[in-house]
């Protein structure tokens, strides 16, 4: 697959600041092993892929966390947004089915020229993201506990309040007033939103692999 590092310095900066968020999950794993944290958020055994032509978001936060699944624990970088507008959204998951083999469930919405996909209090647990990113008024290296204190961002979601994965109090996070992601390719374990408005929704189920990328 061709790399999406077309954004030059913007993508490089984004990659650099993501590393501490993902690396912080090692400390979270130790804390869980020692019984200091409870991994209460459970995810399915399948990851899913998401693409978008463009995502505009207000109130961005990112921090490292750990999701619990049936086949173990999964380190993720959680992205939270107060609100988002998404163009050309595609989401796909491949499910192995006995007798039939692989079956792909695919969802598409917000095609160019039609109303955009709208989301409020959106959280995405991802372990791989490729995009061209622009941040406005970004704060890098803040404590995860301090994000959302002034309503600049949604802050970290608590277990039972949207059900995000476990995060380590006081760990690395970053926030920004606004973000612009273009040509997004993402692999995720979970997505939740307070509201998710899908204009022009098309859902299909097909045999074989028919992923978004």
Q: Where are the domains of the chain?
A: 5-207
Q: Which two tokens stand for residue 149?
A: 């204190």
**Mind listing the pLDDT tens digit for each residue in 52-93?**
999 999 999 998 888 877 777 888 888 999 999 999 999 999
At residue 159 the predicted structure's pLDDT band, cuts being 50, 70 and 90, is low
* Per-residue pLDDT reduced to its tens digit, 12-22: 444 444 555 55
Percent of the chain beyond pLDDT 90? 50
The model's confidence at residue 163, banded by pLDDT at 50, 70 and 90, is very low
For 91-103, b/e burial (b = at least 16 CB within 10 A) is bbbbeeeeeeeeb
Please give the pLDDT value at position 102.
94
Q: What's the whole-number mean pLDDT along residues 98-118?
A: 94
Answer yes or no: is pLDDT of 160 > 60. no
Half-sphere exposure of 210 (CA within 13 A, CB side): 13
Question: What is the three-state SS of the chain?
Answer: CCCCHHHCHHHHHHHHHHHHHHHCHHHHHHHHHCCCCCCCCEECCCCEEEEEEEEEEEEEEEEEEEEEECCEEEEEEEEEEEEEEEECEEEEEEEEECCCEEEEEEEEECCCCCCCEEEEEEEEEEEEEEEEEEEEEEEEEEEHHHCCCCCCCCCCCCCCCCCCCECCCCCEEEEEEEEEEEEEEEEEEEEECCEEECCCCEEEEEECCCCCC
Is the whole-model pTM more than 0.85?
Answer: no
- Give yes or no for residue 27 having a pLDDT over 50: yes
């Amino acid at each position: 697959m061709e790399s999406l590092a077309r954004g030059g310095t913007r993508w490089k900066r984004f990659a650099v600041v993501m590393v501490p968020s993902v690396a912080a999950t090692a400390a979270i794993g130790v804390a869980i092993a020692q019984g200091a944290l409870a991994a209460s958020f459970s995810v399915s055994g399948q990851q899913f892929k998401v693409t978008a032509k463009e995502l505009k978001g207000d109130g961005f936060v990112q921090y490292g966390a750990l999701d619990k699944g049936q086949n173990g624990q999964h380190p993720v970088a959680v992205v939270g947004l107060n609100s988002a507008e998404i163009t050309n959204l595609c989401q796909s998951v491949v499910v192995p089915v006995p007798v039939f083999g692989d079956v792909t469930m695919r969802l598409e919405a917000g095609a160019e020229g039609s109303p955009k996909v709208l989301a409020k209090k959106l959280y995405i647990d991802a372990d791989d993201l490729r995009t061209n990113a622009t941040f406005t008024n970004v704060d890098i290296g803040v404590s995860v506990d301090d994000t959302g204190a002034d309503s600049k961002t949604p802050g970290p979601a608590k277990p039972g309040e949207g059900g995000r994965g476990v995060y380590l109090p006081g760990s690395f996070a970053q926030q920004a007033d606004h973000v612009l992601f273009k040509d997004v390719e993402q692999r995720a374990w979970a997505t939740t939103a307070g509201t998710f408005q899908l204009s022009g929704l098309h859902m299909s189920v097909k045999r074989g692999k028919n992923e978004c990328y």
